[in-house]
Amino acid sequence: MSTIDPAAWLRRYHPVGDTVPRLICFPHAGGSASYYFPFSRAVADTGAAELSVVQYPGRQDRHREACLTDLRELARQVVEAVLASDDGRPVSLFGHSMGALLAFEVALQLEERAGLRADRLFVSGRRSPSSPRREDVHLRDEQGLVREVRALDGTGASMLDDPDVRAMILPPLRADYQALETYRHSPGRRLTIPVDAFVGDSDPRTLVDDAGRWGEVTAGDFDLCVLPGGHFYLVDQWPTLAGLLGGRLAGTGPVPL
Show which residues are catalytic: 97, 231
DSSP result, 35-67: GGHHHHHHHHHHTS-EEEEE--TTSGGGTTSPP
Q: Which residues contact 161 (CB under 8 A, 6 or more apart)?
A: none
Amino acid at 26: F
Strands 91-96 and 22-26: parallel
43 φψ region: left (φ > 0), alpha (ψ -120 to 50), beta (else): alpha
Residue 162 CB-half CA count within 13 A: 8
Rg of the chain's alpha carbons, rounded to an integer?
A: 17
94 φψ region: left (φ > 0), alpha (ψ -120 to 50), beta (else): beta
